[in-house]
Structure 1
Amino acid sequence: MAFTSPLLDKPAPGWKYDLATPDLPPTTQPYPSILSNPPNYANDVYLELARAKLRVHGIGIWLSVFLFFCSIVAIFILFAYISTTGSAPSILISIAFTINFITSLWGGIYCWRMDVESPRDQPIRFNRLRRKVYVYRFFHDGRRPFSRSAWGVRVETYNWDDLRAEACSVYGAMGTGGFIETVTLAVVSPGTNKVIDRFHFAHGIQQGEMYWALAQLFMQQGPQALPTFSRPPRDWNNEKVTFNLARRLAPKVKWPEDLDLESRTAP
């Protein structure tokens, strides 16, 4: 069953309903023909699913070029005005040009880093024997687009029993307006419903429910409970991305050696 009143404190932004907890049977049957990607890998020990917060690489890099152009134009117009009139513009005009320059430069750097530095995949591993979940996460901070420490990849480890899945729907700035539906995973303090962390799991509620069902089937019954996928797993690190500059520049997935070994092996 899906929980129709929030289980967690606090529920995710745009919360619609909670999915079945790790100890309950899945609420839906995963259909390979509907899922966008088959599991990256599955054996008796662990299941790895693809997970990316960005739907498409390549848009942000062109948006950043446009924003950089806007920042340069603001400076050019300001200097052209001064050279033409021989005097400085009014305070209000100067403030407007300064704000335009700063926000355009700020936004351009943010969009560039989000598109170029975000890994090609941010997989999540479910280790059935350790009952642990390993999440390859890309962290970023829009308030500090120039920071090196606030941006980068870290692998987070959680207990399987402490995960909770939530279906969410928020209004997003799209071409014609509309709702963005996702499934997020929350991490709760053991034995409580208090959320201590939360991260993106899948785009689309239907997709997210099915991927969550895959994880539940694997952790509860093993790899034999998973459906058969006709398509081979996608090789995220070695795919051909000739015409997508952002995908070419995006870093490959590289797990830390100790956590890579731990996440793939039994205790």
Structure 2
Amino acid sequence: MFSDIASFIFYFLLLLPVFYFVVSGFRSVLFEPRGAPVRFNRKRQKVYVYEYQRSVWPWKRWPVVIKVFDWADIQGERVQLAGHADWGHRIYCAVCKPGTYEVVDRFVLAWTVGNLRDAYGLWSHCCHYMEARPVPKNPLLTDKPADWTPFRTVRWPSDVERESTTATGMM
């Protein structure tokens, strides 16, 4: 009798982490947007980043945090990845203290692209847009990643939606 209860407790404790990782994995695959959506507002010289703040508990709600940065404080960083499933070049935006290169925050501008020319071209495209210089009419990256789930929706709060898409008015 005691060995049955002990083996049940042992297997339950063994399966608990498996259950945790399965629930976390399904939640991030089905509901979390791919990457952090970013909006550039040239008139305000602001960059808006939409990020999920994951919780340790997969069944708890993951709040959305909207971060707003000044364009003048952002530096581009290119990182080359050489992993099994993730290889190529990734562009990060490092947010620095004004007038310095001390990084206070960082977000992903573009997930992995396989071509160095495309990575630099994407950063150049963003710089040209924000500095009101001519931007190429043809899209830089034409392939749209397959998003097979309808649950990955990005819903900007209405006040941030208005601020990030207009030239005047404050939040």
Shorter-chain TM band = 0.7 to 0.9
Secondary structure of the corresponding residue to residue 113 of structure 1: helix
1:221 CA drift (Å): 2.8
Q: Aligned partners of 2:68 and 2:76: how far apart in 1?
A: 16
Alignment of 1:226 with 2:152, yes or no, is no
Pairs within 5 Å for 1:141-220: 141=55, 143-148=56-61, 151-170=62-81, 172-174=83-85, 179=87, 181-204=89-112, 206=116, 207-220=118-131
Q: Which residue in 2 is equivalent to 1:248?
A: 150
Q: Which residue in 2 is equivalent to 1:125?
A: 39
Q: Aligned partners of 2:151 and 2:103: how far apart in 1?
A: 35
| Paired amino acid for 2:150 | R
- Structure 2, unmatched stretches of 5+, are none
Percent of aligned positions with the same letter in both sequences?
27
TM-score (norm 1): 0.51
1:160 CA drift (Å): 0.3
On the 8 A contact 1:120/1:253 being kept in 2, the answer is no
Q: Which residue in 2 is equivalent to 1:12?
A: none
1:166 CA drift (Å): 1.3
CA-atom RMSD in angstroms: 3.4
TM-score (norm 2): 0.76
Q: Give the 3 Å change call, closer, same or farther, for CA 87–107 of structure 1 in structure 2.
A: same
| Paired amino acid for 1:187 | V
User: Among residues 7, 22, 27, which one is paired with 1:113 in the alignment?
Assistant: 27
Q: Which residue in 2 is equivalent to 1:258?
A: 159
Q: Aligned partners of 1:113 and 1:200: how far apart in 2?
A: 21
Q: Aligned partners of 2:99 and 2:166: how far apart in 1?
A: 27
1:133 CA drift (Å): 0.7
User: Among residues 18, 24, 48, which one is paired with 1:104 in the alignment?
Assistant: 18
Q: Which has the larger radius of gyration?
A: 1
Q: Give the 3 Å change call, closer, same or farther, for CA 152–172 of structure 1 in structure 2.
A: farther
Pairs within 5 Å for 1:72-87: 87=3
1:111 CA drift (Å): 0.7
- Structure 1, unmatched stretches of 5+, are 1-81
Q: Give the 3 Å change call, closer, same or farther, for CA 110–137 of structure 1 in structure 2.
A: same
On the 8 A contact 1:184/1:198 being kept in 2, the answer is yes
On the 8 A contact 2:42/2:132 being kept in 1, the answer is no
On the 8 A contact 1:132/1:158 being kept in 2, the answer is yes
Q: Give the 3 Å change call, closer, same or farther, for CA 113–133 of structure 1 in structure 2.
A: same
